[in-house]
Amino acid sequence: MSELLPEQITAPELAQWLADPTRLQPVLLDVREVGEVQRCHISGSVYMPMQTVPARLAELDQEAVIVCLCHHGARSMQVKRFLNQHGYDNVINLAGGIHAWATQVDPEMATY
């Protein structure tokens, strides 16, 4: 990875990244529960509930940039740290989670 990645990224920063066709697109790893994802989600996200991550590590590319997200950012930060401990170096947490995305980027998205 040639660029130094921050520990966290804001929703507007992530939106700008996703809108930039010249940048390598990250994997959006949504670690919320099924009921939460049914309420709202960012299109293209990979759904992997937090408790399933240890058993599903092999599904994640260690070389990919992964942005973890949950409701407000606490669970996804735990998953980010877990992934870091298991050799995933290119992991970023979405600060404020899907709630920040809904309030700062996509006002049409449902909040809860």
Backbone angles phi, psi at 9, to 5 degrees: -135, 145
Instruction: Answer whether 0.75 is exceeded by the pTM.
Output: yes
Tokens of 53: 């991550």
pLDDT at residue number 3 = 60
Q: Provide the pLDDT for residue 2.
A: 45
Active site residue 40: no
CB within 8 A of 100, min separation 6: which ones? 10, 11, 72, 73, 94
Catalytic residue among 31, 65, 70, 83: 70
Domain boundaries, the chain: 8-104
* N- to C-terminal Cα separation, the chain: 35
Domain 8-104 has CATH 3.40.250.10: yes
Q: What is the pLDDT, as a whole number, of residue 4? A: 79
Check residue 1 and give its pLDDT. 44
Residues of the chain with pLDDT under 70: 1-3
What is the per-residue pLDDT across 84-96, written as a single tens digit (0 to 9) for each?
A: 999 999 999 999 9
Degrees, nearest 5: CA angle 59-61-64 = 140
